[in-house]
Amino acid sequence: PRYIWLSRHGESQYNLEGKIGGDADLSERGMQYARKLKDMVSKYVPNHEKFEVWTSTLRRTQQTAQFLPNPKKQWKALDELDAGSCDGLTYQEIAEQFPDDFAARDENKFEYRYRGGESYRDVVQRLEPIIMELENQENVLVITHQAVLRCIYAYFMNSPQEKSPWMSIPLHTLIRLEPRADGTIVTRIKANI
């Protein structure tokens, strides 16, 4: 069978502080996940030495991939949804500093585009070449970000793209997708750290 393996980066310093965006390093716990991911890959991924690991250009995904000996590819198109003016803020701060934007996003999370940034629809669009590459790949592990993974996941699950913002992609979980003619089979392996 053909599998696509997905993972969020390990917990970052920003995740701990509740901030969005940025280019933070992994937290202590995030580093533990990076180490554990290497073990999980050896244990659960058949022929793991043969496949590529794809990351974004941001530090937290590369740090998560650092213990894997696989060939790596960095894609700008895998960077997290750009929060524009809200980059580096907590949701509380966004609600205080940009109340209209906060409400507009709540109203339509798929279409809402951050000032100077992106919407989920924008992310779906810039992921098109990645999805095409994924459709051509045998086996690959993609280590990227929550919003990006929600869009990739919705695509393979055949969910309407408008539902992307609500896909559940927890931290510290390796997701295996097995795309088949009759639908995609999902297996989730938790790191328990």
Positions that interact with ligand G3H (CB under 6 A): 20-21, 80-81, 83, 145-147, 165
Which residues does the annotation mark as catalytic?
A: 9, 80
Q: Which is nearer to ligand G3H, 68 or 81 (CB)?
A: 81
Q: Which is nearer to ligand G3H, 78 or 147 (CB)?
A: 147
Q: How far is the CB of 142 from ligand G3H (least distance, A)?
A: 15
The residues near 61 (Cβ < 8 Å, ≥ 6 apart) are 9, 55, 78, 143, 144, 145
> Do the strands 72-74 and 4-8 form a parallel or antiparallel pair, or are they unpaired?
unpaired
Secondary structure (3-state) at 5: strand
Angle (CA) 162-163-168 rounded to 5° is 150
Does 13 count as an annotated binding residue? yes
Does 133 count as an annotated binding residue? no
Q: How far is the CB of 112 from ligand G3H (least distance, A)?
A: 9
Q: Residue length, the chain?
A: 193
Whole-angstrom distance, CA of residue 21 vs CA of residue 3:
29
Q: Which is nearer to ligand G3H, 131 or 167 (CB)?
A: 167
Does 8 count as an annotated binding residue? yes
Binding residues: 8-15, 60
